[in-house]
Amino acid sequence: MTPQGTALLHDNALNESTAFTSGERDQFGLTGLLPTAVETLDNQVKRCLMQLTKKPNLLEQYIYLNQLADENQTLFFKLLSTDPERFLPIVYDPVVGAACLEFGHIYRRPNGIYLSIEQRGKIREVLSHWPVKDVRFICVSSGGRILGLGDIGANGMGIPVGKMQLYTACAAVPPDGLLPLLLDSGTDNESLLADPLYLGLRRKRASAKDLDTFVDEFVDAVMELYSRCCIHFEDWKGTDAVRLLEKYKDKVCCYNDDIQGTGSVVLAALYNALKISKGKLKDQRILMFGAGSAGVGISDMIVSAAKLEGVSIEAARDQISLFDVKGLIEPSRTNLEAGQTHYAHKHAPTTSLLDAIDSIKPTVLIGTSTVGKTFTKEVVEAMTKLNQRPVIFALSNPTEHAECTAEEAYTWSEGKAVYAAGVQFPPVKLGNKTYLPTQANNVYIFPAVCLAVYTTASKRVPDELFIEAAKALADQVSTHQLDQGLLLPLQKDILKIEIETAITVAKKVFELGLARIDKPADIAKLVNASLYKPEYTHSKE
């Protein structure tokens, strides 16, 4: 039954505001509650665009857009669809990073579910308070490692909210089945604990043992309440992220975007980089500068992809070396994490990246360190001396954390570098050529994979789905774009790109026998039939 009067205007999924017709205003008790004019959705979008120009900075635009999402979901997604290249960086990275730092200060209204470790024993009851009973995706963060910002506790809720918005904005996943969620087990961030406006649990983070008990109860409750739900782990501390994914990936429908999503988008960029450098995946020597969950996740994804091409796991791992804050990972290193030990190859210890490059002679250098300016001129020149077309991915974000900028990579390599970054850099003009830097952004991958999971009701989300997504994404880059240095498609076409990718991934779901529905004659038709469209259901425009 449709709500009446102000209750309808306060329902963001049903509210059409000034687009309600005169007849609908009489029908739903809205007459007098709205200005007289009856507008189209397109006219409402024009007003929003005008209002955005009045905002003094990007953070204020972020606040405006999220308030719009709270008030009128259809208008919010329609607005985003008019210019994805403009709006995606505002509702998510990089502006979401600034928003998370200010989360307790700019808070307007609750979004999603907050679960406190002090609620153990009644997690199912708390989850059941969410009004939607067919939740299909939960994006859950512990706030333990948000972007390159570290532990920001409950302020990290901005990430699940933003990720859920990207599901719909980029891949048209219906928003009513999406639930942002924060698991609050405290924070070790002293400045937050001292902030009177901090909204999270005021205590130090729980031990790994207590956290695991908390997560166990959460996962059990999700599976009991929402039988077809997929759990998206997002921005957990590296050790927690790797451990929890390993624990649950073969038991429930879940994935970790920082590990698998990052690995997939980097693999897509690497596939196209190799088209430029004329190399084969099995022949690459890869040096990973950063050995946390992202670095290990990318490495594992490359190994999985090489295995599908007939390379043994051992041989694939032998081609990848990891370098972290303590230097090159090799057998003499102690206290290595489980995921890192696979890449501890026999090698002389070194804390010098230049020495490691000189010894290993990598064809590919990938940065996930979150330490800016570490790919120095000497590093880029060393890679260029070793390779005719050195592949250099500086993936850390926000911008100030990038290992090197696009301009630096192209300039120091004299235009030879095949470059990608974790943030979007502007075009670089060098001599008579203009290079288009690639942003290796997970936004190209996880919404498409989730649309495939949604439409097929997949039981699991294995690496094979992310590898298939990487191939489908890479194939959508033209030869002309590759000539300009672009390794991934342009974000202005994001919806078309993701739907095409999702169709390919959905086919793989059926091929692997993971679908919980019968295989249709036309998988593309199945995917397209499930798409959310930002259109009003009541108004006759």
Q: Who has greater pLDDT, 526 or 110?
A: 526
End residue of a domain, out of 191, 224, 252: 252
Answer yes or no: is pLDDT of 129 > 60.
Answer: yes
Of the pLDDT bands very low, low, confident and very high (cuts 50, 70, 90), residue 149 is: confident
243 and 301 belong to one structural domain = no
265 and 412 belong to one structural domain = yes
Taking only the tens place, the pLDDT of each residue in 279-309 is: 999 999 999 999 988 899 999 999 999 999 9
Domain containing 37 — which CATH number?
1.20.1370.30
Cα dist from 204 to 123, 187, 237, 287, 315, whole Å: 21, 5, 14, 36, 43
Count other C-beta atoms under 10 Å from residue 291's C-beta. 25
Please give the order of strands across the beta sheet that includes 230-233: 113-116, 178-184, 137-141, 230-233, 254-256
With respect to residue 367, please indicate whether it lies within any of the assigned structural domains.
Answer: yes
107 and 198 belong to one structural domain = yes
With respect to residue 475, please indicate whether it lies within any of the assigned structural domains.
Answer: no
Give the mean model confidence (pLDDT) for residues 467-494.
96
Q: What are phi and psi of 388, to 5 degrees?
A: -65, -40
Both tokens of residue 222? 């999700």
What 3-state DSSP class applies to 126?
Answer: helix
Angstrom distance (rounded) from CA 395 to CA 404: 9
132 and 44 belong to one structural domain = no
How many percent of the chain have pLDDT more than 90?
91
Q: How many structural domains compose the chain?
A: 3
With respect to residue 454, please indicate whether it lies within any of the assigned structural domains.
Answer: no
Residue range(s) defining the domain that contains residue 116: 91-252
Q: Which residues contact 303 (CB under 8 A, 6 or more apart)?
A: 313, 316, 317, 320
DSSP tag of 324: E
Residue 158: which region, alpha, beta or left (left: phi > 0; alpha: psi -120 to 50)?
alpha
> Mutual orientation of helices 84-91 and 494-511 as an angle, nearest 10°?
70
Strand 364-367 with 286-289, pairing: parallel
With respect to residue 331, please indicate whether it lies within any of the assigned structural domains.
Answer: yes
394 and 414 belong to one structural domain = yes
Q: Which residues contact 385 (CB under 8 A, 6 or more apart)?
A: none
Alpha-carbon torsion 151, 154, 155, 157, what sign?
Answer: positive
Angstrom distance (rounded) from CA 442 to CA 261: 6
Give the mean model confidence (pLDDT) for residues 366-382.
96
With respect to residue 507, please indicate whether it lies within any of the assigned structural domains.
Answer: no
Domain containing 376 — which CATH number?
3.40.50.720
Answer yes or no: is pLDDT of 147 > 80.
Answer: no
Count of all residues that appear for the chain in the document: 541
22 and 161 belong to one structural domain = no
Which pLDDT score, from 0 to 100, does residue 540 have? 40
End residue of a domain, out of 226, 252, 278: 252
Which pLDDT score, from 0 to 100, does residue 539 have? 45
3-state SS, 352-388, equals: CHHHHHHHHCCCEEEECCCCCCCCCHHHHHHHHHHCC
Q: Which long-range contacts (CB under 8 A, 24 or more apart) does 300-303 make?
A: 300/259, 300/263, 300/339, 300/463, 301/260, 301/263, 301/264, 301/266, 301/267, 301/463, 301/466, 301/467, 301/470, 302/263, 302/266, 302/267, 302/270
With respect to residue 501, please indicate whether it lies within any of the assigned structural domains.
Answer: no
Which pLDDT score, from 0 to 100, does residue 369 have? 94
Angstrom distance (rounded) from CA 471 to CA 70: 36
Which pLDDT score, from 0 to 100, does residue 541 have? 38
Angstrom distance (rounded) from CA 423 to CA 412: 19
> Mutual orientation of helices 158-171 and 73-82 as an angle, nearest 10°?
70
**pTM of the full structure:** 0.94
With respect to residue 471, please indicate whether it lies within any of the assigned structural domains.
Answer: no
Give the mean model confidence (pLDDT) for residues 421-432.
93
Angstrom distance (rounded) from CA 528 to CA 157: 31
106 and 31 belong to one structural domain = no
Taking only the tens place, the pLDDT of each residue in 496-529 is: 999 999 999 999 999 999 999 999 999 999 999 9
- In whole numbers, what is the pLDDT of the chain averaged over residues? 95
Which pLDDT score, from 0 to 100, does residue 196 have? 96
307 and 419 belong to one structural domain = yes
Domain containing 162 — which CATH number?
3.40.50.10380
**Which of 89-98, 165-174, 517-526 is predicted least confidently?**
89-98
With respect to residue 201, please indicate whether it lies within any of the assigned structural domains.
Answer: yes
Which pLDDT score, from 0 to 100, does residue 397 have? 82
100 and 53 belong to one structural domain = no
Angstrom distance (rounded) from CA 66 to CA 58: 12
Taking only the tens place, the pLDDT of each residue in 183-214 is: 999 999 999 999 999 999 999 999 999 999 99
351 and 376 belong to one structural domain = yes
Give the mean model confidence (pLDDT) for residues 156-184.
97
Provide the annotated active-site residues.
92, 163
Which pLDDT score, from 0 to 100, does residue 80 have? 96
Angstrom distance (rounded) from CA 222 to CA 219: 5
Q: What are phi and psi of 322, to 5 degrees?
A: -115, 145
104 and 174 belong to one structural domain = yes
Alpha-carbon torsion 517, 220, 143, 129, what sign?
Answer: positive
End residue of a domain, out of 252, 280, 310: 252
Which pLDDT score, from 0 to 100, does residue 538 have? 59
79 and 105 belong to one structural domain = no
The H or E element spanning position 453 is helix 446-456
Both tokens of residue 1? 């039954």
